[in-house]
Each structure stands twice: as C-alpha cells, then as structure tokens.
Amino acid sequence: MTSTLNNDVADTARRLAERPERIWAAFEHAASEGRAAFIPFMTAGYPTPERFPAVALQLLEHADLLEVGLPYSDPLGDGPTIQRASEEAIEHGTSTRATLQAVKALRARTDKPIVVMTYINPVYATGPKEFMRLCVDAGVDGLILPDLPPDEDLGIRFLAAEAGLALTFLIAPTSTPERVRVVTSACTGFVYAVSVTGVTGARDGGALSEVPALIALARAHTDLPVAVGFGVKDAATARIVAVDAGADGVVVGSAFINALKAGDDLGALAAKIVSGCRK
C-alpha cells in the first residue's frame, strides 16, 4: 500500500515538473561550445552581505549556472572552508530570507540559471510551501538538496514540482547501482555526482579516480546532465573531470572562497577553470 502511494506521488510530481529550460539550456550551450558547463559556488552573504552581490556577479560573468549556498550552522557535507564561510555569513546576519532576497537582486541583473544549495532543515524551519514560494519569487531555477534522501520526503518533491523548481540530488562513489537509479530518477534539473568520499574541499587530481565510473553509472539510469563537484580546484582538476571523465558540468566552490580570502582575482581564476572545462 505504502509503495503504491509513494509511486503515485512520485508520478504526480514528475507530471507537474516543468522542464528546467534555463538549466538545460545552459548545459546545452556549454556542450555546443565543446566544453563542460562551469558551475561556480558561493556562500550567500560571503564575505559580507554588502560584498556578496559583486562577488556573485563576477562569477556570473564566466558561469553557465551559479550555485548559491544558503548558510547553515551544521553543513554536514561541507569541508572547513565552506563551513567557515557559512559561519561568517550567519554572523553577518545572512538568513534564509536574506539569501533569497540576495538571489532576487541577482536575478534582476542576469538571465543565467541560479540554483540554491540548501540543507533540508532551513526548508522545514521556513515551512516547505513557504520556502518554495520564496524561491519562486526570487527567481530561483532549482534546488540542490545534499542531505535529503529523495525517497524520504516525497512531499518536498511534489511541492518543488508544483512550483516549477528543478531538484538536484547527490550520488557518490559509495552509491550502489540501485541507489543511483533511485536518486537519478528523482532529479529534475541535473545530477550532482560527488567526486570523492568525504566533504567539499580542494584535493589533488588523484582523488578523482572514481569519477568516470560514477558518471557512467549515472548515465545508465538518466539522460539528465551530470555535474561533478567536490575536489575541483583549478584548470587541471577541471580538465580531469570534464575531459578525462566526460562530465557535463564542473562545480567549484572552496577554491573561490580561498581566493577571496587571499585577495586573488576571482575572474582570472574562473577563466582558467573554464579553460580546463574545454573538451
């Protein structure tokens, strides 16, 4: 009985889900240029709420999609760099609503897709229906939900589909073929493949050895784009993911936060990483 109900809800969610036109178009545009889509990540409100818009716009100059992280006090999937960025953003007053207001301001200045990465607790704390409404009002294209098993709360998937928000869930090198099937079937934007076992952060290229098999496994179950994150820090590691492994997209986060701290040129770093995405 429960299985039938779950299947009915999932089928309804799929029927209601609008094709994430802007997200898919971004991947298609990148592919037409012979490269993987470049997806930079930046924590909302970092380094300060006042500076965040300029930082985000600088990344958007090179990005195909922008991933905005909603600051959260217990970011289980993030390494120390993004954890500290979240802590600082929260200390500066960046909340869920402030994050979405910042995205709304960005939306007024760009047509590129913006996806919000959020842990599930802020969604529940806001109220899932209200959270989806705020996202739609802000012009968010989709959500990345790293700590929500997609078969654990079909209501979230239903509400997102009803709102026309694309959903992205995560697979990892430890995911079984059956788990990959379940996760990819729940994605409506793109599939996020975690390149390594562990948390976010820069690593050397050798740590990315399991990526090709993970991408192949995902593609056996879905025709959605597969983007790879965790461990990509520069043009060389982007090339491993995009060229050697054949990913459709490359997600880079900690490297930009470290560059901000060091006072380095974000635009120059972004341009170099984009060069590594060319196939």
The residues assigned a catalytic role are 67, 78
**Three-state secondary structure readout of 115-157:** EEECCHHHHHHHCHHHHHHHHHHHCCCEEECCCCCCCCCHHHH
- On the CB side of 159, how many CA atoms lie within 13 Å of its CA? 18
Q: Could you give the CA distance from residue 34 to residue 40 in angstroms, rounded to a whole number? A: 18
- Is beta strand 166-168 parallel, antiparallel or unpaired with respect to 142-144? parallel
Alpha-carbon gap, residue 255 to 112, rounded angstroms: 21
Tokens found for residue 128: 């899932």
Contacts of 7 (CB under 8 A, 6+ apart): none
- Interstrand relation of 142-144 and 114-117 (parallel, antiparallel or unpaired): parallel
CB 114, CB 141: distance < 8 Å = yes
